[in-house]
Amino acid sequence: MFELAIKIVINGLTSSLVYILMALGFTLIFGIMRVVNFAHGELYMVASFLVYVLVGSLGWNYYLVVVLAAVAVGLFGMVLERVLFRPFIGRELNGMIMALAVSITLQASAFILFGSDEHSVERPISGVIHLGSVIVPRDRLAVGLIALVILAVFYLFMRYTKAGLAMRAVVQDEEIASIHGIRPKLVHPLAFGLGAMLAGFAGALMAPIYTVYPYMGSQPMLKAFIVVILGGLGSIPGAVLGGVVLGLTESAFATLINTTVATMVSFGIVVLILLVKPTGLLGR
Amino acid sequence: MKPMKFTVKFSVIIAVLALLPFVLRAPFLTHIGVMMGLYVTLALSMNLMLRIGQISFAHGAFMGLGAYGSALFMMRLGLPFPLAFFGAALAVTLLAWLVGQVFLRIRGVYFVLLTFAFGEIIVLIFVEWVSLFGGSNGLAGVPRPGLFGYEIQSRDGFYLLALALAAFAYASVRALYRSELGAVITSLDENEALTRSLGIDSRQYRLLTFCFSAFLAGLSGALYGHYLTLVTPEDYGFWVPVNLVVINVIGGVANPIGCILGALLLVPLPEFLRDAKQYQVLLYGILLILFLLFMPDGLHGVMEKFRRRMSGRAK
């Protein structure tokens, strides 16, 4: 019984960290630009394909490529914001339709370039660690630790830099923030780029663990969406709390019953939260 | 325009369209005609939701419930086609009325996300409840519809049904928008506070729109199932509302004619690009981006602008 609980917690927390990476970017983009970024999963997918090409085909160093891919996706996000999303500031539904358009365009492009096959990337770390009788794969553990470091850096950035302060101010009230000289033209691309970069990190980290294919982004996108609803759209602490809650409940239901039930339960919770408290657990 | 003029024009167009397959004798075009009829109806049902400013991602589920419902009514209960067809659509409407009571309290992106989660749950139920819905393989051998003792087997028959459905949907949505009821519905998106200050119970109007919209989606779903003779869960997921939004944006949201224009442009595409579905999706995406950026009023808006310029020059 005790071992089962440990297994649930460890599995739950390792997936939580990746959910949080996805959800933080998603919620940051919504909080600052009021855009529901349906293309978030495709940013994850693009980073995975970068790893597949650069590490798998060209043989570059994996850790270097993780950083490169995340930065590249971050820059890509800034370009998307400037060219496609900026005209829709303040019009939430049109912004969302634009995100859908970006999502299907990227998916179809990846399909045309790489086909529908599931590609795999060689794991940089392999083997398992025995914690008592609980077996933990080393690569999952490494991903968890790296994600934790990224989250810590993100936290410090948001907490202690001027740019982070500016973004937190815009999340709370854009108008008041702009009175204090915070320019939306600078904050929006920064937030979109940062959100995209977090998705890029998640995609690059998960590329060797799962397979790489054009539709791989829909699952993590769905998780990010559930996490963000749980925590409250636009709330950064909410994304962390939501990620942990989703990771643990999923892991518990998946271990004790099966994954479909886990998915149904999470959607059920989403419907319930939206109906009862649409702003989520920690939303305003 | 006098009301008579529209009725006459509309009847003539429908009559010509109804004769078309018997003159052209091109089964492939007839097939495209069937798909057009279904998609015009579906796009109109989404147009109703856009009119009140609430994009519904539950419409894939409503369409799917119509398809499964009508198929199961015929296969399990042995109901005749008209009864199964309308019964399924009414059941969908009833469900929309029930969930609408609570769903329509929610606005904006939250409504989209809520209906999205609802749609995913319904599709999961289709997949998981194998004994009733047949799981991932769905229901095969859905019976062909019978009307007045004839079994409709030919494409031409389906074409006429789809045409009738689209004509009904278009005429009713158009009449609705031109009525006082339609003015109230339009005002809900534009200035709900003002509408409510006139003593109008806005939620009842939202509910009415949602139900009628679900009814249309249910009808076209039911016909779609009988046409394919196969109902699978994947046909009724996330892609249905996405396609409907694409058709609406490209055709133009402001006028129901936009749904016809959008369907005219987008429905034939997948049939021609059948072997290269990804190129079609890519084209959808790029078209959507371009229209959102440069022609936010859609094809209908472009036509209006053109017409205005022409009449300006004539003076």
Average pLDDT along chain A, 284 residues, taken 10 residues at a time: 79 85 92 89 95 88 92 96 89 87 93 88 82 78 89 91 88 84 87 95 90 88 86 85 88 81 81 80 68
A267/B121 touch (CB, cutoff 8 Å), yes or no: yes
Residues A234 and A283 sit within 8 Å (Cβ to Cβ)? yes
B120 interaction partners in chain A (CB closer than 8 Å) = 222, 267
pLDDT of residue B311: 80
Q: Tokens standing for A67?
A: 């950083």
Residues A223 and A41 sit within 8 Å (Cβ to Cβ)? no
The shortest C-alpha distance from B164 to chain A (Å) reads 31
Predicted TM-score (pTM) of this structure: 0.85
Q: Tokens standing for B113?
A: 């996300």
For the segment B160-181, what is each residue's pLDDT rounded down to a tens digit? 899 999 999 999 999 999 988 8
Report helix, strand or coil for B231.
strand
Would you tell me which residues 226-245 of chain A have a C-beta closer than 8 angstroms to some C-beta of chain B?
A: 229, 233
B278/A108 touch (CB, cutoff 8 Å), yes or no: yes
Residues B165 and B34 sit within 8 Å (Cβ to Cβ)? no
Residues A136 and A128 sit within 8 Å (Cβ to Cβ)? yes
pLDDT of residue B313: 67
- What is the C-alpha separation between A30 and A93, in angstroms, rounded? 12
B102/A275 touch (CB, cutoff 8 Å), yes or no: yes
Interface test with A, best of B120, B129, B234 (most A CBs within 10 A): B120
* Alpha helix stretches (DSSP H) within B25-154: 27-51, 59-75, 81-103, 108-128, 130-133
pLDDT below 50 — which residues of chain B?
1
For the segment B239-277, what is each residue's pLDDT rounded down to a tens digit? 899 889 989 998 988 889 999 999 988 888 777 766 677
B282/A109 touch (CB, cutoff 8 Å), yes or no: yes
Q: Tokens standing for B22?
A: 């018997």
Interface test with B, best of A92, A229, A246, A267 (most B CBs within 10 A): A267
pLDDT of residue B274: 66
Would you tell me which residues 110-139 of chain A have a C-beta closer than 8 angstroms to some C-beta of chain B?
A: 111-112
Amino acid identity, residue A243? G
**Which of A30, A88, A274 is closest, CB to CB, to B114?**
A274
A101/B288 touch (CB, cutoff 8 Å), yes or no: yes
Going by C-beta distance under 8 Å and a sequence separation of 6 or more, which residues neighbour residue B36?
B162, B166, B263, B264, B267, B268
- Number of residues written out for chain A: 284
Phi then psi for residue B232, to 5 deg, are -120, 145
Q: Tokens standing for B289?
A: 């981006």
Tell me which long-range contacts A111-120 makes (C-beta under 8 A, separation of at least 24). A111/A214, A111/B278, A111/B281, A112/B278, A112/B279, A112/B282, A114/A49, A114/A213, A114/A214, A116/A213, A116/A214, A117/A213, A118/A211, A118/A212, A118/A213, A119/A52, A119/A56, A119/A211, A119/A212, A119/A213, A120/A208, A120/A211, A120/A212
B286 interaction partners in chain A (CB closer than 8 Å) = 105
